[in-house]
């Protein structure tokens, strides 16, 4: 299963009222997370240009808006060695795919 497909399934399961928009939101979240991962890699190797910094900010804002749409929270990780975005659904039994467990959330990118 693709990363966006898996995320869409999780979104539909965790937010049943939003199942209709889950696939579209999941695809967009993964697309922006992958773009952020590339920018974080560049930042690790060199300083970002002003244009790249603006692009990074726009991608982070898009992720935050998309997350607000489905009532989840996003945490950004600027380190390119891990997931660039970790999603938090809330609650102690939230889904996770990271070594940190539920407190780290569902990583994408």
Residue 37 sits in which domain range? Answer: 3-108
Q: Quote the number of domains for the chain.
A: 1
Task: Specify the pLDDT at position 92.
Answer: 75
DSSP β-bridge partners for residue 74: 87
- 3-state class percentages of the chain: helix first, strand second, coil last, to nearest 5: 55, 10, 35
Task: Specify the pLDDT at position 4.
Answer: 92
Task: Specify the pLDDT at position 100.
Answer: 84
Task: Specify the pLDDT at position 71.
Answer: 92
Task: Specify the pLDDT at position 93.
Answer: 84
Task: Specify the pLDDT at position 60.
Answer: 97
Tens-place pLDDT, residues 2-30: 999 999 999 999 999 989 999 999 999 99
Ranges of the chain whose pLDDT falls below 70 = none
| 12 neighbors 19 (Cβ within 8 angstroms) | yes
Helix, strand, or coil (residue 37): helix
Tokens of 54: 């603006």
């Amino acid at each position: 299963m693709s990363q966006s497909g898996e995320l869409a399934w999780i979104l539909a399961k965790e937010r049943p009222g939003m199942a209709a928009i889950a696939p579209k939101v999941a695809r967009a979240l993964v697309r922006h997370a992958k773009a952020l991962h590339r920018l974080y890699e560049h930042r690790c190797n060199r300083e970002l240009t002003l244009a790249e910094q603006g692009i990074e900010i726009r991608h982070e804002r898009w992720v935050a808006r998309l997350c607000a749409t489905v009532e989840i929270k996003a945490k950004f990780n600027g380190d390119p060695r891990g997931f660039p975005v970790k999603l938090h659904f809330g609650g102690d039994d939230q889904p996770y795919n990271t070594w940190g467990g539920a407190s780290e959330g569902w990583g994408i990118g």
